[in-house]
């Protein structure tokens, strides 16, 4: 059994992001108090986007299945994949948020069904180990 746990806490992540959004809302109101409704609508939209994002908590790989535990809208959810039906691929990406980071994509029938990003609390080495475990399990099942 292989288990990969996120270093970040979901509720701490939400709290920190909400505080930053609230801080930005207050700063905008200090400079332009007449735009309260528009700014509040933008703040509300940002909070909804924040709550709707998937936050991967952990990945557990057993002998014949992989389980991804994630949060969305404060609810803990699970996705279970059969090891023999999935493929994984790790790739390097770059963006303004982080210069170079790794993304582990999980495919089923050549369709991407889940993605794990190293910017969201997982080490690059952990994602590489997970990719190796998934590929080893997949090749031994076929």
Give the tens place of pLDDT for each residue, 37-78: 888 888 888 888 888 888 888 889 988 888 999 999 888 999
Give the tens place of pLDDT for each residue, 99-115: 788 888 888 888 888 88
Write down the pTM of the prediction: 0.77
Q: What is the SS3 string spanning the chain? A: CEEEECCCCHHHHHHHHHHHHHHHHHHHHHHCHHHHHHHHHHHHHHHHHHHHCCEEEEEEECCCEEEEEEEECCEEEEEEEEHHHEEEEEEEECCCCCCCEEEEEEEECCEEEEEEEHHHCCCHHHHHHHHHHHHHHHHHHC
Domains along the chain with CATH numbers: 2-11+51-141 (2.30.29)
């Amino acid at each position: 059994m292989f288990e990969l746990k996120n270093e970040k806490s979901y509720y701490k992540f939400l709290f920190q992001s909400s505080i930053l959004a609230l801080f930005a809302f207050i700063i905008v109101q200090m400079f332009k108090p007449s735009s309260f409704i528009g700014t509040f609508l933008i703040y509300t939209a940002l909070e909804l986007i924040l709550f709707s994002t998937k936050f991967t908590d952990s990945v557990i790989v057993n002998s014949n299945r992989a389980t991804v535990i994630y949060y969305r809208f404060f609810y803990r959810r699970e996705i279970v994949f059969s090891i023999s039906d999935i493929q994984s691929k790790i790739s390097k990406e770059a963006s303004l948020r982080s210069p170079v980071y790794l993304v582990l994509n999980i495919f089923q029938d050549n369709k991407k069904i889940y993605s794990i990003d190293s910017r969201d609390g997982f080490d690059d080495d952990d994602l590489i180990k997970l990719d190796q475990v998934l590929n080893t399990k997949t090749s031994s099942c076929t």
